Structure 1
Amino acid sequence: MKTVDPITLDIIENALKNARFEMDGVVVRIALSPVIREQHDEFPMICNERGQMIVGQFGSYIPAIVEKFQGDLNEGDIFVWNDPYACKGSISHNNDWCVMMPIFHEGVLVGFSSIFGHMVDVGGKVPGSMPADAYSIWEEGLRIPPVRIYDKGVLNAGVLDIMLNNTRTPDMNRADLMALIAGCRTAATRVRELCDRFGRDTYMAACDMLLDRTHEAMKVLIDKYISEEPVTFTDYVDDDGVGNGPFKMTLSIYRKGDTAVFDWTGTDPQAEGPINFHIHEGLCKLFFGVYMIMAFDPSILFNEGFYDLFEIVLPEGSLLNPRFPAALSNRLNTHTRFFDCQAGALGQRAPHLSMAAGYGTSPHFIFTGHDQDGKYFQLMELLFGGVPGRPRGDGLDGHAWWPLFSATPIEYIENYYPVLIESYRPIRDSGGAGLHRGGAGIAKTYRLLETGRVSIHDDREIVPPWGINGGLYGGTSSKWIVRKATGETERIPSKIDNLAVEAGDVVVFNTAGSGGWGDPLDRPAESVARDVRHDLVSPQAARDFYGVVLTPANVPDDAATEALRADMRTRRGEPEPFNFGYVPEQAEAAE
C-alpha cells in the first residue's frame, strides 16, 4: 500500500474534517424547516470508495445501497431513501431522508458523500409523521426505497413529485432535500480538489491510513478498558405510547482476544408501539466506538477503522432488532437509552471516566392548525434536557445529546408561528446531586395564539436518570396544559397526539434532568451555594442531598456544614456505585 508522509496525512485529515463542517454550513443556509435550519438535525459524512466512513458521526450505510444497484454508479447520480427496512436500518425512521452521492475524479470512483436530515413531515396519520400510537410502519408516512433523485445529473422529477405529494409541508421538504443535495455536492468538490492537489493515489492511500490509525488506537482502548469477564447493565424505556412498559434494555460487554463483544441479549421483545429501534449493525458499532473515544481518548478520529474489532449481538425480534413492519417513528426513546446502557456498562470497569444517565430521549413539541388567513402552519421543535454529570465537571443544563444541535431561537418561533414563549428556564433540583451535579432539565412555556392541535413525545417520566459513583438520580419529565376557558391545569401524558387546544391555552413542557457524578457530600460548599443563588438547587436540597447549611444570604455556614456532612456520612455509609431511584422489577415486587 502506498504510504503518505505524516504532514500530508494531517493536511488531508483536517481538510476532510473541514469539508464535513462545510457540508453543515451549506445545509443550514439552504434549508427552510426549523428542525434543520435552526436545530441542525442533519448528519453528514464523507466515505472512501468502499463506502467506509472517513469523517462523520453516524457511520456508513453506503455498502448496503451500492449492493442494491450492483455497481451501477455514474457521475452525477444522487440517491435518496428513507425506508429503514429497505436499507438495513441505516435510517431508523421515515422522517429521516438520506441523500448519497458517488464522487468521481477523472472518471474514477474515489468515495461517497452523504447526509440525512429530519423532515418535519412525511405524511402518515398525524402531523409530524411520528404517531405516538402507531402499531406498524404503514401508519408513519411515505416509505422511499433507495432510488435515483438525479440520474447522471438530470433531476428525476417524477420521484420528487411523489415525495412532495405525500407531505403536509412540501415547500419545506423540497428546500431541505435540495439543501442535503447541495451539501453532498460541496463535499464532492472538496474531495476532487484534494485529489488534484495531492494526487488521487495519495488521497486514497491517506483515507486507508486514517482508518488504520483509528483501528490501532481502538485496539489499545479495548485492551485497557474491556475485560474478558462480562459486565452487564440494564436500563428502561418508560412506555411505548400504546399502554405497554416499562421496557428493559440489557447490555453485556466483554472481550474475546482483540474483539469487543456488545451483546443485547436480555433486552425486551419488540414493542407494539413505535419505540422500536431498527439499528444497523455498523451504526451500532459506531455508537460504541464513538462513546469509547469520547470517554477514554477524544484525540482519536471517528471513522470505521475499528469495525472489525467489534462484534454486535442484536437478538431478532427485540426492541433493537424488530421484525417488519414494526412501528419505528419514536425510536429515539430507545436510541438515547442505548447510550445510557453503554455508560452504565463501561462505567463498571472505568468509573472514573464514565458518566451518569441523561434526559434520555429527544423530546419534541408539534403545534398545527390554520391561522386567521386560513394558512396551514406546523411548528415542530426538539427540546433538550439535562446532560449528565461527568468526570471533568457538572453536566450541561438544557443541552442536546447531539453536540451540534442548538435550540430554536425564541424570536424565530414567535416570528413564524402563532406562539408566544412565556418562559424558558432550567428546572430547580432536576440535576442529580453529586460531586459534579447532573445537568438540569428545562421548562418551556408556550402560549398558543390559534386554535389547533398539539402532539408531544417524551420519556423519562417514570424511570429517572440514574447517578454514578455516589451521585444521585435526576428529575423526571412532566407536561401540563392550562386551559384559558376554565383556568384549570391538566397533566398531559408524555406521549400524545392531536390534543385539541384553543387560542390562549398554555402548554408547559418540563424535560428530565440527569444523574449526578460522585459523592454529593464532596462537592465544594461554595459550588452548592452558587447553584442555590442561580436557582438550580433549592436551599432544602442543598441541606438534604449535599449536607450544606446556608445562611439567609445563601452563603455556606462552614462549621454547621462540616458537622452535618460528618453525621450524614456516618448514617449513610459508603455510597452505592449507581443510584437508580426507581427500578420497575423492584416496584412491581413492592406492590
Structure 2
Amino acid sequence: MPLINIAGSERFAYRPKPPEKTRELASGVRLHAVSDADVAAVDPLTYEVVRHRLAAIAEEMGDALKRMSGSVVVTDCNDFGATILDECGDSVIVGLYNTQLAASVDMAAKWTLENRAARPGIREGDMFFCNDPWVGGGLHQNDATVMAPLFHDGELFAWTAAVCHQVDLGGVSPGSWSVEGRDVFWESTPVPPVKIVENGEIRADIEDMYLRRSRVPRLIALDLRAKIGANNIAQERLTQLIAKYGAKTIKAVMKRMMNDAESRLKAKLRELPDGEWSGVAHQDSFRSGDRNIYKIALKMSKRGERLTFDFTGTDKEVEGFANCTLAGLRGGIMPIVLTMLCGDIPWAPGGIYRCFDIVSEPGTINNCNFPAGIGKASVASAWATQNVVSECVGNMLAVHPEHRKSLMCVCCGTWDLALLAGLDQRGNPFVTMVCDSMAGGLGARVDQDGVDTGGLNCIPMGRVADVEINEFSFPMLYLWRREEMDSGGPGRFRGGAGGSSCFIPYDSPIGGVHLVVSATGKALPQATGLSGGYPAATQHDVLVRGADARSMLARGHIPASLDEVGGTAQVLQQHLETNLDAGDVYFTHWQGGGGYGDPLLRNPILVARDIAAHKVSPRAAAEIYGVVLLADGTVDTSATGAARERLRRQRAEPAPASSGELA
C-alpha cells in the first residue's frame, strides 16, 4: 500500500516563524523582549561572564540528567541533549552531548507557542512533553523531550529543554525498533506537546498515559523525573542569574550570543570561495527483507555569507521505519555545521540557523509525511543526511589553506544497533541498546589520521559504556570488545578504526534474551573518504547458533575469534528480530571513519607502524597502500616504489568489458 499524507496532519507541521515580533501572543501570553540598543549596551566583560554562566547551566542540566537517570544510554553513553532557548524558542546554547537532538528542540518550542498558548495555556510552573518528530524535539519517537517555560515578572522569559533517548516507548518490537514495520502505526505513538507538569506538579493522568506504552515503565518514569529535575535546576540557576545581573542584561546577552554566532559564521563563510559541491549518501534496506538501495542527494552552494543545502533529487519516502522528518534533516545538518564550521564559535543554533537555507521536498526519505515509518530515523535517514552534509562541507573547506584544517571525513557511517530485551539476572524486565558502536572511528583530517574508536562527531561527549557496566546491568557476558584491523578508510591519512563486540546471553532466569538487529551499511560503505581517500569498511554482524563458548570459558579459555567458538555461523542481513539462546554467540562489527587523500601517498613508515599495531593488515598494505616490508618489519623502499608505480599504472588501464550481470 503506498504511503499517504493523512488529512489534517499538516497541523503538526513545523512553522519556522511563530508570532515572535510582537510582545504579546493572541492568547495573552506576554513575551519578555529587549531592543537592539539593549543588546549593544552590554559591556564586553559582563557579556563574557554571563555567556559562560549560561553555558555552565546547560552543562549542569546534562550533569543532572546523568545523576538522576537510571538508563545506561544516558548515564554512561551521554545520548541526550540539554538546551536553553529564548522566549521565542530560538536555541541560545546547546551542550556537548547529542547535537542531533538539540538541533530540533527549537521546532517543538515554537510549535508549542503557536498551538498551546491559548489552550491549555503556558504558565509559570508548567512543563510540556513531546516525542513527535513532525513537531520537533527529537528525531524519532524514542527521543522524548520535556520543555519548561521560564517566567519573570509575569512575562515569558526563556525556555529550557531536556531530551534523551528512551529505551522503549512501545510499538510492535522491544525497544520500539519495528524492523518489519511499514508505517508509523507499527511504532511507538508520537505525541505532540502536551502539558505533563502543571503548576509544579506532575499530571498523573498524562504520566499514566505515557508510561502505559512502555515495557519498562519504572525506568521511563525515572528518566521523566530526571528531565523534569534538569529543567528545575536550570530554571533555578537562571532565576539566580537574573536576580544578580537583571533580566534586561541576561536577555541581552542571550540575544547577543545568537547575533555573535551569526556574524562570526558569516565572516568565516565570506573567507571561503563561492561554489557548489554535491554528494549522494546511500542507505541499504528500510525494513526486514528489503534489498533496495536508497539515496539522499545534496547540492550545497555557498554565495557570499550564505549556505544553501538543496536536497532535490532525494528518493521518495518508502514503506519501512528508516525515513526521517524535517527534524531529522535539520539534525543531519547542524552537527556538521557545529563541529566543522563553528569549532571556534559559540554554539548558539538560533543564530547559526540564520546563515543557511534548506531546500527539501516534503514526501522524501529525509522529509517524510505522516504516517511514514520513522522509528529508525535518527540512525538512518538523519544519519545519512549527516554523512552527505559532512562530505560537501569537507570539500568546501578543503580548498582554503587555513579552514581546511577543520574538515573531517565521514565518521562511523551508521549505527550498528543490537537491542536486547527480556528478564535480567535479577528477574526484572529490561530493554537496552548495546551502545558499543558509540566508539566508531572518526574520519581522517587533512594532516592527521582519524582517531581510532574515537566516537561520533554528532555526540562530542559520547561514550561507550564500560564492559563491566553492561555485564552488571544486563544478562550478557563479553568474549571481547576490541578495535578491528582494516576497518578505517585507507588514505594518505587513514580513517579511524572501528571495532567489534562479541558476547553471549548470561545469567537470565529464562536462559536467553530477545535480540533486535538493525544495522545497515552492509551492502555498501557509508563512511566515505575525501580527496581520493577510501571509505571505511562495511559493517558485519554474525549470529552463531549452538556455539561452544560456555564450555570453553568453563575450561578457563577465552575465545578470541569466531572460528574458535564452533557452532553454525549466520551472517546477518540488515534487519532481524529473533531470540539469542543461552548457547548462542553474537558478534557485531561497526564502521570506522573515511580516509583522506590517495593511499599511495601515505608515508610508508606510517603503514609499517599500522601493521605492527594491527590497524592495517599486510594484505591491505600491499594491495591498497603499495607498501612492501622486509622480514624485520621495516619498509623495503625500492620494492615499495615499484609496487606503487605498478598500482598507478593499473589504475590507468581501461576496465575489462563486462561478461554479464553480477550474480
Q: TM-score, normalised by structure 2?
A: 0.82
1:291 correspondence with 2:342:
no
Partner of 1:580: none
Partner of 1:81: 130
Partner of 1:22: 60
Secondary structure, in 3 states, of the residue corresponding to 1:325? coil
How far residue 258 of structure 1 moved from its aligned partner, in angstroms, is: 4.4
Partner of 1:453: 514
1: CA distance, partners of 2:358 / 2:484 = 38
Residues 285 and 412 (structure 1 numbering): CA distance in 2 closer, same or farther, change over 3 Å? closer
- Which of 360, 371, 386 in structure 1 is aligned with 2:441? 386
How far residue 115 of structure 1 moved from its aligned partner, in angstroms, is: 1.2
1: CA distance, partners of 2:363 / 2:584 = 42
- Which of 518, 528, 531 in structure 2 is aligned with 1:466? 528
Whether the 8 Å contact between 2:626 and 2:644 is mirrored in structure 1 is yes
Residues 139 and 399 (structure 1 numbering): CA distance in 2 closer, same or farther, change over 3 Å? farther
Partner of 2:32: none
1:168 correspondence with 2:223:
no
Partner of 1:582: none
1: CA distance, partners of 2:43 / 2:609 = 51
How far residue 573 of structure 1 moved from its aligned partner, in angstroms, is: 6.5
Whether the 8 Å contact between 1:457 and 1:496 is mirrored in structure 2 is yes
Partner of 2:148: 101
1:376 correspondence with 2:376:
no
Whether the 8 Å contact between 2:366 and 2:385 is mirrored in structure 1 is no
1:53 correspondence with 2:91:
yes
1:480 correspondence with 2:542:
yes
1:398 correspondence with 2:453:
yes
2: CA distance, partners of 1:68 / 1:390 = 45
- Which of 372, 380, 385 in structure 2 is aligned with 1:326? 372
Bigger drift between 309-318 and 269-278 goes to 309-318
How far residue 571 of structure 1 moved from its aligned partner, in angstroms, is: 5.0
1:502 correspondence with 2:581:
yes
Bigger drift between 374-383 and 10-19 goes to 374-383
1:416 correspondence with 2:465:
no
Whether the 8 Å contact between 1:359 and 1:460 is mirrored in structure 2 is no
Residues 367 and 399 (structure 1 numbering): CA distance in 2 closer, same or farther, change over 3 Å? same
1:512 correspondence with 2:591:
yes
Partner of 1:579: none
Amino acid aligned to 2:122: L
1: CA distance, partners of 2:660 / 2:425 = 50
- Which of 298, 306, 321 in structure 1 is aligned with 2:352? 306
Give matches, 1:36-51, under 5 Å: 36-51=74-89
Whether the 8 Å contact between 1:365 and 1:383 is mirrored in structure 2 is no
1: CA distance, partners of 2:179 / 2:614 = 34
How far residue 430 of structure 1 moved from its aligned partner, in angstroms, is: 1.2
- Which of 214, 217, 232 in structure 1 is aligned with 2:261? 214
Amino acid aligned to 2:512: T
Residues 523 and 587 (structure 1 numbering): CA distance in 2 closer, same or farther, change over 3 Å? farther
2: CA distance, partners of 1:233 / 1:541 = 27
How far residue 40 of structure 1 moved from its aligned partner, in angstroms, is: 1.4
What is the RMSD of the two structures over their aligned residues, measured on CA atoms?
A: 2.4
Alignment deviations for residues 147-195 of structure 1 (CA, whole Å, 9 cap, x no partner):
1111011220111111111100011101111111111111112212221
How far residue 290 of structure 1 moved from its aligned partner, in angstroms, is: 4.6
1: CA distance, partners of 2:426 / 2:254 = 55
Residues 186 and 38 (structure 1 numbering): CA distance in 2 closer, same or farther, change over 3 Å? same
Alignment deviations for residues 57-110 of structure 1 (CA, whole Å, 9 cap, x no partner):
32322111221112632111111111223x2x4422111110001112344332
Partner of 2:227: 180
Whether the 8 Å contact between 1:131 and 1:329 is mirrored in structure 2 is yes
2: CA distance, partners of 1:359 / 1:372 = 32
% identical aligned pairs: 28
1: CA distance, partners of 2:382 / 2:283 = 10
2: CA distance, partners of 1:338 / 1:22 = 30
Give matches, 1:4-19, under 5 Å: 4-19=42-57
Secondary structure, in 3 states, of the residue corresponding to 1:347? helix
How far residue 275 of structure 1 moved from its aligned partner, in angstroms, is: 0.6
- Which of 509, 513, 527 in structure 1 is aligned with 2:606? 527
Partner of 2:625: 546
1:366 correspondence with 2:428:
no
Amino acid aligned to 2:598: D
1: CA distance, partners of 2:618 / 2:545 = 32
Number of aligned residue pairs: 574
Whether the 8 Å contact between 1:434 and 1:520 is mirrored in structure 2 is yes
Amino acid aligned to 2:390: A
Whether the 8 Å contact between 1:333 and 1:458 is mirrored in structure 2 is no
Amino acid aligned to 1:451: G
2: CA distance, partners of 1:290 / 1:124 = 29
Amino acid aligned to 1:190: R
Amino acid aligned to 1:457: S
Partner of 1:149: 196
Whether the 8 Å contact between 2:262 and 2:351 is mirrored in structure 1 is yes
Residues 325 and 297 (structure 1 numbering): CA distance in 2 closer, same or farther, change over 3 Å? closer
2: CA distance, partners of 1:484 / 1:167 = 32
Whether the 8 Å contact between 1:472 and 1:515 is mirrored in structure 2 is yes
How far residue 204 of structure 1 moved from its aligned partner, in angstroms, is: 0.6
Residues 567 and 493 (structure 1 numbering): CA distance in 2 closer, same or farther, change over 3 Å? closer
Amino acid aligned to 2:340: A
Residues 511 and 562 (structure 1 numbering): CA distance in 2 closer, same or farther, change over 3 Å? same
User: Gaps (5+ residues) in structure 2?
Assistant: 1-36, 548-565
Whether the 8 Å contact between 1:129 and 1:141 is mirrored in structure 2 is yes
1:92 correspondence with 2:139:
yes
Whether the 8 Å contact between 1:389 and 1:439 is mirrored in structure 2 is yes
Secondary structure, in 3 states, of the residue corresponding to 1:348? helix
2: CA distance, partners of 1:285 / 1:211 = 18
2: CA distance, partners of 1:296 / 1:500 = 44
2: CA distance, partners of 1:587 / 1:370 = 54
Partner of 1:581: none
Alignment deviations for residues 381-401 of structure 1 (CA, whole Å, 9 cap, x no partner):
223232221224212223432
Partner of 2:569: 489
How far residue 344 of structure 1 moved from its aligned partner, in angstroms, is: 2.3
2: CA distance, partners of 1:200 / 1:15 = 14
Alignment deviations for residues 258-296 of structure 1 (CA, whole Å, 9 cap, x no partner):
44221111000002101101023xx75575455234324
Partner of 1:430: 487
Whether the 8 Å contact between 2:265 and 2:342 is mirrored in structure 1 is no
2: CA distance, partners of 1:367 / 1:337 = 25
Alignment deviations for residues 481-510 of structure 1 (CA, whole Å, 9 cap, x no partner):
11126811111222112x122102100011
Residues 296 and 588 (structure 1 numbering): CA distance in 2 closer, same or farther, change over 3 Å? farther
How far residue 556 of structure 1 moved from its aligned partner, in angstroms, is: 2.4
Whether the 8 Å contact between 1:80 and 1:100 is mirrored in structure 2 is yes
User: Gaps (5+ residues) in structure 1?
Assistant: 575-585
2: CA distance, partners of 1:547 / 1:367 = 43
